[in-house]
């Protein structure tokens, strides 16, 4: 009988996670695995069948009471044989006692509901080459490195359920990632990151005090992509964000549901114009 075992994935396994996600057409960032692993080195699980890698899942712990599921993949050759659900159970055990979030693809949402997840909103992926809008004259967009990291991390915490300093420090610093902030009278009014992906580039997070500030940041982030398309996972509950995507000529290409086991966390939803990732929240 074939032996199936679930082990903690190391940094060397994370490239495989990214490749499998690309096979599922999730279009991950090319270097996502580096900051991802830093977020929780014990939160990634690889399933092996007679030593052959066949399943993946992440169960990243944030703070003391939040966690996030991602990378839930069974390779096509083993689907329907129970290996994926074993990986799922191991991941959920790792997050026992926490409010757990995930972004569920449409065909799996019914299964997630059976596990106690409730939809909070949908993420709609908008993609394309953004049109330009005249930026507000009193907004300055600069490199995020010009802002002290503690200040940037505190700002990120407004929009995310827990501090994630280890992740964030790499997310803004990995070669190829570009991180910008928007300032008004010295006050932090927005933050965004763009990173290269297998197809075009991905923007996330995109936080802003208004749609005009979000537009200024998105213009700055996309300017360095040399005409390549960018993609953003936009929460549909943010009407201003959806309206901005439409004004800038971006098209919806993909949809998933943000779901939680204990309800949506208390964050500044109005300021989230794009999620950081659908894999880690």
Write down all domains in the chain, each with its CATH number in brackets. Answer: 4-100 (3.40.630.30), 125-274 (3.40.630.90)
Q: What's the confidence (pLDDT) of residue 3?
A: 93
Q: What's the confidence (pLDDT) of residue 19?
A: 93
Contact between 239 and 232 (Cβ < 8 Å): no
Q: What's the confidence (pLDDT) of residue 137?
A: 73
Q: What's the confidence (pLDDT) of residue 198?
A: 87
Q: What's the confidence (pLDDT) of residue 251?
A: 98
Q: What's the confidence (pLDDT) of residue 158?
A: 98
Mind listing the pLDDT tens digit of every residue in the chain (281 residues)? Answer: 789 999 999 999 999 999 999 999 889 999 999 999 999 999 999 999 999 999 999 999 999 999 999 999 999 988 989 999 999 999 999 999 999 999 999 989 999 999 999 999 999 999 999 988 777 678 899 999 999 999 999 999 999 999 999 999 999 999 999 999 999 999 999 999 999 998 999 999 999 999 999 999 999 999 989 889 999 999 999 999 999 999 999 999 999 999 999 999 999 999 999 999 999 99
Rounded Cα distance between 101 and 58, Å, is 12
Q: What's the confidence (pLDDT) of residue 2?
A: 80
Q: What's the confidence (pLDDT) of residue 133?
A: 75
Q: What's the confidence (pLDDT) of residue 132?
A: 80
Q: What's the confidence (pLDDT) of residue 222?
A: 95
Contacts 24+ apart (CB under 8 A), 32-40: 32/195, 32/277, 32/279, 34/170, 34/174, 35/167, 35/168, 35/170, 35/171, 35/174, 36/60, 36/167, 36/279, 36/280, 37/10, 37/11, 38/166, 38/167, 38/169, 38/170, 39/164, 39/166, 39/167, 39/280
CA torsion, ordered 212, 214, 219, 220, to nearest 10 deg: 120
């Amino acid at each position: 009988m074939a032996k199936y075992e679930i082990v903690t994935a190391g940094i060397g396994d994370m490239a495989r996670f990214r490749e499998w996600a690309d096979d599922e057409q999730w279009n991950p960032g090319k270097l996502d695995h580096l900051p991802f692993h830093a977020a929780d080195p014990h939160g990634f699980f690889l399933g092996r069948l007679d030593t052959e890698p066949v399943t993946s899942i992440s169960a990243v712990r944030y703070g003391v009471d939040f966690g996030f599921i991602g990378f839930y993949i069974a390779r096509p050759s083993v689907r329907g044989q129970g290996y994926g659900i074993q990986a799922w159970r191991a991941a959920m055990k790792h997050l026992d006692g926490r409010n757990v979030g995930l972004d569920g693809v449409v065909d799996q949402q019914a299964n997630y509901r059976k596990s106690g997840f409730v939809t909070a909103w949908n993420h709609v992926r908008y993609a394309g080459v953004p049109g330009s809008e005249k930026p507000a004259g009193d907004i300055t967009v600069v490199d995020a490195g010009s802002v002290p990291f503690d200040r940037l991390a505190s700002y990120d915490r407004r929009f995310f359920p827990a501090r994630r300093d280890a992740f964030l420090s790499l997310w803004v610093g990995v070669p190829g990632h570009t991180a910008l902030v928007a300032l008004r009278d010295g006050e932090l009014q927005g933050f965004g990151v763009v990173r290269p992906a297998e197809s075009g580039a991905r923007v996330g997070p995109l936080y802003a005090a208004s749609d005009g500030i979000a537009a200024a940041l998105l213009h700055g982030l996309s300017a360095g992509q040399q005409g390549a398309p960018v993609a953003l996972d936009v929460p549909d509950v943010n009407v201003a964000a959806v309206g901005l995507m439409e004004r800038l000529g971006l098209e919806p290409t993909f949809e998933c549901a943000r779901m939680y086991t204990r309800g949506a966390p208390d964050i500044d939803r109005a300021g989230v114009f794009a999620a950081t990732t659908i894999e880690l929240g």
